[in-house]
Structure 1
């Protein structure tokens, strides 16, 4: 890959707007009229999208009213192990590419420390073991891999370049050249919206001379973050975005747990907010805790939106930001059908969520750093396998602290294998699988405390881990993403704004959640008659010039 001087950035490609630039501009995000100061705005969901939206609305002088049905932080959930300070299991998002520029603007503002994530074949991992069909390969760098693995990696890189002018696209994204990004991306949308990732792999010329075994290895192992086969049915556009935006590289973890970001925004006291006195925070506006989950949304005759919480409390709002997973609007939240167009309802209901499961144990020390005196290899490594565990990650929390092993991280059908099982059985099955890869290593003897597990599809507030767009879903995604620009909407459909990573073009990545939250902030600001500064136009101001390509019906 050619070296490009500009840093990676989540700039587009569907809507190439600089969200971090808008955030960091000295003119700020804009203003609302003084008569709107203190006006309540409902924010449904206290995940990262909801809390970014609430925090920025508070800074504008509005009064966000946050509703949360479960856990503050959403899928940025860092569950602590009992008795071990700062030692957590990252149940949701755990690796964050530095190209997530808007997200890292908040990480940096909160003063949080990050370090490289121990992905396969990275220095942070130390070593990697790939175990396929009973054959185990140990590697401390790419040079240690057999030729077949390198052939797969080279074929994928060549296929990206041949089909997508990949280096030019990545260069345009890094340079934040909106015109160049649009010129490269828009023709690809029309060509690839209805084709799967697997279609790309099997039909690309660089893969044509390779065997099925090569494609199988690519699916089981992949490169960078691990296997790709769970994504094979997805639209190729979904994968291309990840590659072009560099979401699959230079990933970091947040030391002490990523939940510190939403928790930090909840408690942060912004400097010089409009309307509110110094010392105001989201927590203080809520007397320390968010409202209960939402049970119903209704349109009133006067145009306001009525929000009813799970215990029957009712409040009417001029504006609502809904950041919950979209399926909840047709399942656990009784939603007035008139709030959205039938075209948008089609998009919301066709959202397809992917399953994901993780199981963690705390161990007495990072024993995997020890080396076998006979072989010189680490006793255990970051592990990719076709066995039940699929991905095993190792976390060294520093001198004198327990380590953490993510025994298994699996998606889709592999995650469903774990779904009905209690945590102890998940641990036992994982240990049995790893014993076949590391015979003679007694991992169980190092385990301390209780294990922690999650299956996101079993959580009634999520029903899945994240969206995976299928072929033909680009039109649906465009409807959801562009919902914040409401100037042409019927009056009955105005005032409620969607946000969250499942509304974004980059599901499963926190940057999409942050960017759509900022879209919603612009939408609410415009709804109250506010405006951005002329020197710092917002996403809605640039919408007509930069909006996603329209494919038509």
Structure 2
């Protein structure tokens, strides 16, 4: 039986899932360090993963949060909606995210397949491009052009990246083979865009511009990817190589339950703290306020000042907020990071994203059409279009129960078109676009309650949805990702750590937040004089041997 695809590297192929599952635990601290306060800036998935694991090791995490628990795992309930939520941030989670699913399983949460295009969970998919509408349950239901695009993409990956051999090495967790193949690709593709890869590949070169246009609008796996065309091809290779774009699931009741669950969960085993201790209890029920300043104190510790002007010194600090906030929201002493690292943090490029949701009285879209060309098909299906809505998704909570529709999920320029508008105006624009695709469906008559929308770039605590690495950004990512290895740093730069999906090699995917949080846990333990068990070495032990390829500066 073929082994599954997991997010195992490829830049740093360390088995985080095995590290987490090992009965020896993640490490041990010296007795005199038990109870040491370590600051965690940000209560998203990265911050709460690190806080939870550090608490288990006997550290006292002090979590600072400027907004709400969960970060970009934000499940906003509809008023009176009987548990119906709008997933404003992350909403689909690939099975390959093994470290993330470790925590989902720990908390006993349930999941179900996400209704992506051309999947059984979607019921049916409607592709509306250039004024033509196609109904499909599988790729075979679409015109030949779509299959030609899909086949060309597969051929481009195989010819340009040796994809099947690379992915087999990843499946087998054959570290030497995976590193050898991936490290050959890094200098070849870091300086080239996703669009360049597609346009210059022999598989697409023999096809028309229309094929590339359709590829950008409809894409592969999760939908259209033209918003990523300017990104580094390395970033796209990682996504498809590690299965991020397939076999995705949603968390029933909302993914925000994962970080909230870690906040409330009492580990079965932990050092120092009495049984029943949780992060919530250590904090008296709520995290501290947001952070205003980070400075090096005369004691050598790091002084953290919150929004109320209260300053506390900590032996170490883990920063999980988006990196731009270190220059726009937090007065961060410049000497805490090297100038090359500041360059990397400042050059991080965030992508825009907007979503607009409505709650409806029931999953009416499942009603079968009584007549016409689509007789026997559902009233509506997961919709991909070149209109304003771009992607429309339907979320069923059971017959005759309120349900949710993500009327529009858009990125970059399509998201910016929504930025100046109120939620009500966004709904009107989306309904107008969908009316052209479904002229015989009265969506308005089913809407109940108040709509919900988000533009992450307009939120001062985020300034964007997620990182999208541009060509030439590999070196920047390497600097940020490897910062948890601090033995070679000057004393003035030690004790402050970075985590979050924008620090990872897989931005926009929660697994990157979890894995970098675990790197930071190792870094904090090492900084405090602790160590991993010999039977369960951590990422810091593996990094010198299998760390990311270093490109010349």
TM-score, normalised to structure 2's length?
0.99
RMSD of the TM alignment (CA)?
A: 0.7
Aligned counterparts of 1:276 and 1:200: Cα–Cα separation in 2 = 53
- Equivalent residue, structure 1, for 2:499: 499
1:125 maps onto 2:151 in alignment = no
In 1, Cα distance between the equivalents of 2:172 and 2:263? 33
Q: Which residue of 1 aligns with 2:215?
A: 218
Residue number in structure 2 paired with 1:433: 433
Structure 2 unaligned regions, length at least 5: none
**Shift of residue 399, structure 1, vs aligned partner:** 3.2
- Does structure 1 conserve the Cα–Cα contact (< 8 Å) formed by 2:363 and 2:399? no
Give per-residue Cα distances to partners, 1:488-509, cap 9 Å, x unaligned.
0000000000000000000000
Give the drift of 1:177: 1.4
For structure 1, the residue ranges without an aligned partner over 5 or more in a row are: none
* 1:61 to 2:67 alignment: no
Distance 1:187 1:261 in 2: 37
Name the counterpart of 1:259.
256
Distance 1:433 1:485 in 2: 50
What is the distance in 2 between the residues matched to 1:399 and 1:293?
42
| Shift in Å, 1:86 | 2.1
Could you say which residue in structure 1 is the equivalent of 2:147?
150
Please identify, of 252-261 and 174-183, the stretch whose mean Cα deviation from structure 2 is larger: 174-183
Q: Does 1:514 align with 2:511?
A: no
Partner of 1:346: 343
Report the Cα distance in structure 2 between the residues aligned to 1:280 and 1:302, rounded to whole angstroms: 30
1:173 aligns with 2:170: yes
Alpha-carbon distance in structure 2 between the residues aligned to 1:431 and 1:373: 23
- Give the distance between the partners of 1:400 and 1:170, measured in 2 at CA: 44
1:13-52 Cα distance to aligned partner (Å, 9 max, x none): 0000000110001111010111000000000000000000
Q: Give the TM-score of the pair, scaled to structure 1.
A: 0.99
Match in the other structure for 2:317: 320
2:291 maps to what in 1? Answer: 294
Which residue, 159, 164, 174 being the options, matches 1:162? 159
Alignment of 1:237-276 (within 5 A): 237-276=234-273
Partner residue of 1:285? 282
CA offsets per residue over residues 254-313 of structure 1, 9 Å max, x none?
Answer: 000000000000000001210000010000000000000000000112211000000101
Q: Quote the Cα distance in structure 2 between the aligned partners of 1:504 and 1:416.
A: 25
2:334 aligned partner: 337
Which of 185, 193, 205 in structure 2 is aligned with 1:196? 193
1:471-490 residue pairs with structure 2 within 5 A?
471-490=471-490
- Distance in 1 separating the partners of 2:5 and 2:399: 32
2:396 is the counterpart of 1:396: yes
Distance in 2 (alpha carbons) for counterparts of 1:168 and 1:63: 45
Higher mean C-alpha deviation, range 466-475 or range 135-144: 135-144
SS of the residue 1:27 aligns to: coil
The offset of 1:543, in angstroms, is 0.5
Instruction: Give the alignment of 1:72-151 within 5 angstroms.
Output: 72-151=69-148
Structure 1: distance between partners of 2:134 and 2:421 = 30
**CA offsets, 1:85-106, max 9 Å, x none?**
2210000000000000000000
Which residue of structure 1 aligns with residue 547 of structure 2?
Answer: 547
